[in-house]
Structure 1
Amino acid sequence: MKNVLISGASIGGPALAYWLRRHGFAVTVVERARGLRPGGQAIDVRGPALEVIERMGLGDRLRSLSTNMRGMTMLDAEGNELFSSTTHTLSGGELAGPDVELLRDDLATMLFDAVEGVEYLFDDTITAIDGTRVTFEKAAPRDFDVIVGADGLHSNVRRLVFGPESEFVSHLGMNLAVFTAPNFLNLDHWQIFQQDGEVGGGVMSARANAECRVYMGFNGEADVDYRDIEAQRRLIAEKFADAGWEWQNALKHMWEALDFHFDSMSQIRMETWSRGNVVLLGDAGYCGSPLSGQGTSMALVGAYVLAGELRDNPATVFQRYEEILRPYVTANQDMALKNRESGGAPSEEFADVVNSLQLPAY
């Protein structure tokens, strides 16, 4: 039985763990956080990723966690309504389609609960990889047949095996903070977005209107450490210091949020996603940025394909993994760049790109 180590317990890691266990592998997941990370933005499961969820037997559970948005409103810099829609939202797209929008932490919990027989090493991280031997910050060194980096945009596994992040990251000129707050606008399954010069964002109700998720972003570079949360809060407060509408109320809630998250809108592009017995999954290897609207779907599909190839074609698993996924990933990353050029509006070929991969049968 192959022994697989996965770094990262967000979306791609637990999804891969599920399929690997189903195929008979021994799986360990190491996660730097002390438990599942709370918060994060609303994410979307689309196209072949929906089929992956159905094959996991989790389709009904996924739909039950939907944000159930009724629509959205867009405001101008002064807070005046530009338009409202009950057919689509900025965060989730067309409301009448099969896509499912849900909160990132709800999906992470659903996937975590679906996996049995997996060893989790929370509050730990990998410090060195030498062939099959993995050294941890806290746990004793161990050997693994396969090591998977599913640890996000700032992947530790990628840094250790492939080199510094600067060699692979492409900043798209935007930055975004997300956090949970009370439903201070009394939204009813609704979202409001507003742009005020170089800053902007939105508020959407969540969890049956009991709370909301706040998005606050700005254009340009952000000279701040991605792990220095207090410095990130100060930066957002500085950028929004003179912003109108409800942003000053949002800032008050930002200081109290326990799940504040900030990062750049960036992509990761690499010539190969594997080296030796190490392979990257999801944002660690092919982050598309939130502008793609496909990061979660790419991770779910990638997990399904990687596990299936590892079972069926172990000698050529990484080659096959890339052959199957790369056209789909590249199309989604390119679409994100077009979305940036159009101010965030999905490009015309969005649906075609979303559905551009036929899932193999494993």
Structure 2
Amino acid sequence: MTPRTVLISGAGVAGPTLAYWLARRGFQPTVVERSQGLRSSGSPVDVRGPALPVAERMGIMPHLREAATQATAVSLVDASGRQIARVGLPAARSAAGNREVELPRGDLASILYEAARSDAEFLFDDTIITMQQDEHGVDVDFDHAAPRRFDLIIGADGLHSTVRRLAFGPESDFVHHMGIYVATMPLDGPVNDPSHVLMYNTPGKLLSIHPSRDKALAAFIFRSCAIDGFNHHNTEQHKRIVVEAYTGAGWRAPELLDQLRETEDLYFDSVSHVRLSAWARNRIGLLGDAASSVSLFGDGSSLAIAGAFTLAESLAAAPTDHTAAFRHYETAHRTLVDPKQRGMRQVAALLVPKSRTGIAVRNLAARAWPNRP
């Protein structure tokens, strides 16, 4: 029997993981990615929980550990840089047998791509323009490549998914702003202490420096209502928004804003929920943030890896019944995603308290449980 063809949109975390497992289950995967290559930037993310057995079966754990950061704790600091509380990170428990790994998102995506590239076709610097599905397949027009036909399409293309927009409807129907924006950028070099993340708060704002590996990373996380005219592709607009939000914020804000004005590697976006009543429409399905964003602080990558494996196994178990396969995948994976989505506001309250009282209460709790991750 001719292998079933699957087009995957997005070469981040979920897309290459899905391609890897589909190829090993007798499918023929193609991954299309809008960017010219893999993005090298991104905040550190965790591979933990349900992602760990998937990564171990892929044989990539040694590569993940080589790329891992050395951070073992978060130091909460005041405007003068004095530590006022310390909170342990999961990596601090590694000596006790903890298998979790924290590494830069770009490194994770590169490792997953290297694992998948020999068994999957990758089309960089391209994107899907139109999709027309019928009872036997889906006809796809690309921006650059010649039109092709596939048995299935999977949108693993993030919060602003092209596949979701084309197959399910406008983004505004499914993406809901959570009242927080995030900007991250690499700094000029490493920090003096690679074991501590530095975190500074003012009401409604967080500023952090993460040691990462080769270069430290700065993060600006702040509360704001939805910004009128926000364009997630407009870097100059993003810089203006962050500078306006953090001017006068204290601590190291002035020097970090100076670097932000000059950087060519800035990530900026809204923290958002993605909610859909179903993750598939006939032969087109969604995966990762495109289906159910949990974009707040690390768990999204682990859930993307786990979801990709579940989807591949579901399709392999029902190779001629994609409807049943998509239903099984969604039922199983929602049990992991839904609790994380419900907990996003509580996580935001801890990391970006709205008031000085909230900051003080959070810091008091941190001092009470200094080794609690």
> If the length of structure 1 is used for normalisation, what is the TM-score?
0.89
Q: CA deviation at 1:343?
A: 4.3
Identify the residue that residue 190 of structure 1 maps to in structure 2: 196
Structure 2: how far apart are the matches of 1:309 and 1:288? 22
Identify the residue that residue 303 of structure 1 maps to in structure 2: 308
Could you tell me which of 45, 60, 63 is aligned with 1:61? 63
- The 3 A distance-change label for structure 1 pair 77 and 164 is farther
Q: CA deviation at 1:256?
A: 3.0
State the secondary structure of the residue aligned to 1:152. Answer: coil
Larger Rg: 2
Structure 2: how far apart are the matches of 1:93 and 1:300? 23
Structure 2: how far apart are the matches of 1:341 and 1:68? 26
Letter of the 1:235 partner, please give it: I
Query: What do residues 165-188 of structure 1 show as CA deviations (whole Å, max 9, x unaligned)?
Result: 111112111111011112375333
Letter of the 2:222 partner, please give it: F
Identify the residue that residue 104 of structure 1 maps to in structure 2: 105
> If the length of structure 2 is used for normalisation, what is the TM-score?
0.86
Q: CA deviation at 1:308?
A: 0.9
Could you tell me which of 343, 346, 353 is aligned with 1:335? 343
Structure 2: how far apart are the matches of 1:189 and 1:256? 27
Aligned 1:44-193 pairs, distance under 5 A: 44-77=46-79, 79-85=81-87, 87-88=88-89, 97-115=98-116, 116-131=118-133, 132-183=138-189, 185-193=191-199
Query: What do residues 287-317 of structure 1 show as CA deviations (whole Å, max 9, x unaligned)?
Result: 11214x3101111011101111111113111
Letter of the 2:313 partner, please give it: G
Q: Does 1:261 align with 2:267?
A: yes
8 Å Cα contact 1:174/1:217 also seen in 2: yes
Structure 2: how far apart are the matches of 1:93 and 1:290? 21
> Where in structure 2 are there 5+ consecutive unaligned residues?
353-361, 363-373
Q: Does 1:216 align with 2:224?
A: no
Could you tell me which of 326, 329, 335 is aligned with 1:321? 329
Letter of the 2:100 partner, please give it: D
8 Å Cα contact 1:5/1:28 also seen in 2: yes
Q: CA deviation at 1:48?
A: 1.3
State the secondary structure of the residue aligned to 1:206. Answer: coil
Could you tell me which of 233, 236, 254 is aligned with 2:239? 233
Could you tell me which of 23, 37, 40 is aligned with 1:38? 40
8 Å Cα contact 2:206/2:351 also seen in 1: no
Q: CA deviation at 1:30?
A: 0.7
8 Å Cα contact 1:76/1:196 also seen in 2: no
8 Å Cα contact 1:17/1:27 also seen in 2: yes
Identify the residue that residue 249 of structure 2 maps to in structure 1: 243
Q: CA deviation at 1:225?
A: 0.6
8 Å Cα contact 2:103/2:212 also seen in 1: no
Which has the higher mean CA deviation after the structures are superposed, 271-280 or 192-201? 192-201
Identify the residue that residue 367 of structure 2 maps to in structure 1: none
Report the number of matched residues. 340
8 Å Cα contact 1:191/1:202 also seen in 2: yes
Which has the higher mean CA deviation after the structures are superposed, 95-104 or 3-12? 95-104
State the secondary structure of the residue aligned to 2:216. Answer: strand
Letter of the 1:103 partner, please give it: P
Letter of the 2:115 partner, please give it: A
Letter of the 2:169 partner, please give it: G
8 Å Cα contact 1:189/1:206 also seen in 2: no
Which has the higher mean CA deviation after the structures are superposed, 64-73 or 267-276? 64-73
Q: Does 1:200 align with 2:215?
A: no
Q: CA deviation at 1:196?
A: 2.0
Which has the higher mean CA deviation after the structures are superposed, 327-336 or 146-155? 327-336
- The 3 A distance-change label for structure 1 pair 94 and 60 is same
8 Å Cα contact 1:183/1:205 also seen in 2: no
Identify the residue that residue 351 of structure 1 maps to in structure 2: none
Structure 2: how far apart are the matches of 1:342 and 1:204? 18
Query: What do residues 52-85 of structure 1 show as CA deviations (whole Å, max 9, x unaligned)?
Result: 1011111222122211213221023554421134
Pairwise CA RMSD? 2.0
Q: CA deviation at 1:139?
A: 1.2
Q: CA deviation at 1:37?
A: 1.2
State the secondary structure of the residue aligned to 2:254. Answer: helix
Structure 1: how far apart are the matches of 2:37 and 2:23? 21
8 Å Cα contact 1:6/1:27 also seen in 2: yes
Structure 1: how far apart are the matches of 2:342 and 2:167? 26
State the secondary structure of the residue aligned to 1:290. Answer: coil
Identical columns (%) = 39
8 Å Cα contact 2:208/2:219 also seen in 1: yes
State the secondary structure of the residue aligned to 1:106. Answer: helix
8 Å Cα contact 2:78/2:251 also seen in 1: no
Query: What do residues 128-177 of structure 1 show as CA deviations (whole Å, max 9, x unaligned)?
Result: 11001011111111100000000000101100010111111121111110
8 Å Cα contact 1:77/1:197 also seen in 2: no
